[in-house]
Structure 1
Amino acid sequence: MTVADAPPARPLILGSTSRYRRELLTRLGLPFDAVAPHVDETPLPGEAPRALAQRLALAKARDVAERHPDAVVIGSDQVADLHGEPLGKPGTHERAVAQLQRMRGQTVIFQTALAVVCQADGFEQTDLTAVEVRFRQLSDAEIERYLRAEQPYDCAGSAKSEGLGIALLDAIVSDDPTALIGLPLIRTARLLRAAGLTLP
């Protein structure tokens, strides 16, 4: 079979409404659509952060794949893990203040799970990246100034490392540099190649 005879590449869908994940995925140079998954993100009783992130990433990919069975679908989820307790998106200024007060001087593990699903091919693979983030010993005034400046209320852990939030940290330890922003691109590229897509 020649290149001209090769079947067309399957469409790629990002199963997410996150603007951060959309911006990251554009870096791979592949055309894609973004579709909102319909998944309840409530943690199960006693569910560990790692398990929660993995379950939700796969549930998001499967949900969108059911509606688009010929597509390769990416699902991802991130949970901030403070000593085994999941911390979600704060949603409000008050909750963000409380999160950052709890995390100051602490090491938080950001569990970023990834799933790629294609129903037509029976393809389903998952991966998980654990990013270690060490927060500085922040004063209440620093927390307040940061939140007023950046308003990261839609971010797990109440801080944007790609923006001013980097000033809150002592260190980031990761083998996939975009994982903390919400989509580990090294692993995403690996799973997309496994699913049969050709990256530029």
Structure 2
Amino acid sequence: MPPILLASSSPYRRELLARLGLPFSHQAPALDETRLAGEPAQAMVMRLAEAKARALAAQYPGHLIIGSDQAAVLALPGAEAQVLGKPGHFEAALAQLQACSGQVVSFLTGLALLDARSGQCQVDCVPFSVHLRQLDTAALTRYLHAETPYDCAGSFKAEGLGVSLFERTEGEDATSLIGLPLIRLVRMLQNCQVQVP
């Protein structure tokens, strides 16, 4: 089996990939992740997932390299869809969650598996939607002080207390919500003759 590299510094993605029981290493690629003018969110996450994997190909020419990127998208009736970034601090997170209260947030996760030996790259986008409950400012403030999800697009951690904000979820792979769609990744790995389990 060729060695596997996760092109990410995300501890969440490392924890997810470890579930598959495969040995892997990880490194963050140096990459400009700026959204292109007019670029749809789905196209952006697929482009960046592949770019992250390809950015490390010369350094790891014998590896299977996994790249992933995620965007949280809030589409309000009668308004242009808004891509939610990582809030960075309390005030921005509170504003994001207030806008999302009672709404549906779509998480689009781009996934790429690059076989650096051949240059062939499989790329896909896995959607997952979260329906948030109507939440008042006091509840949102308690949540933000308890979990401080300032490094998470959408301002909540689904794998933690953030689930308490949900009315329901929908999608084919819950791991895509955390940032690495394992069901799709297993299929991609199998295409490269890596068997899981």
Q: TM-score band (shorter)?
A: over 0.9
- Corresponding residue SS for 2:156: coil
Contact 2:73 2:107 in 1 (8 A): yes
Q: Distance in 1 between matches of 2:101 and 2:30?
A: 34
Residue among 10, 17, 21 paired with 1:25? 17
Structure 1 residues 49-87: Cα deviation after superposition (integer angstroms, max 9, x where no partner): 111111111111111223211100000011001122211
Structure 1 residue 172 corresponds to structure 2 residue 164: no
TM-score (structure 1 length as normaliser): 0.93
Unaligned residue ranges in structure 1 (runs of 5+): 1-8
- Corresponding residue SS for 1:160: coil
User: Over aligned residue pairs, what C-alpha RMSD do you find?
Assistant: 1.0
| Letter paired with 1:111 | L
- Match for residue 95 of structure 2? 98
| Letter paired with 2:130 | V
- Match for residue 43 of structure 1? 35
Mapping of 1:1-200 within 5 angstroms? 9-83=1-75, 84-200=81-197
Q: Distance in 2 between matches of 1:36 and 1:190?
A: 24
Unaligned residue ranges in structure 2 (runs of 5+): 76-80
- Corresponding residue SS for 1:105: coil
Q: Distance in 2 between matches of 1:166 and 1:172?
A: 10
- Corresponding residue SS for 1:43: coil
Shift of 1:30: 0.3
TM-score (structure 2 length as normaliser): 0.94
Task: Give the fraction of aligned pairs with identical amino acids, expressed as a percent.
Answer: 51
Deviates more, 1:11-20 or 1:55-64: 55-64
Task: After the TM superposition, list the runs of 4 or more consecutive aligned residues in structure 1 that deviate by more than 6 angstroms.
Answer: none
Contact 2:65 2:116 in 1 (8 A): no
Q: Distance in 1 between matches of 2:102 and 2:40?
A: 22
Q: Distance in 1 between matches of 2:58 and 2:150?
A: 31
Contact 1:71 1:118 in 2 (8 A): yes
- Corresponding residue SS for 1:65: coil
Deviates more, 1:43-52 or 1:9-18: 43-52
Contact 1:81 1:87 in 2 (8 A): yes
Shift of 1:123: 2.0
| Letter paired with 1:131 | F
Contact 2:68 2:111 in 1 (8 A): yes
Shift of 1:127: 1.4
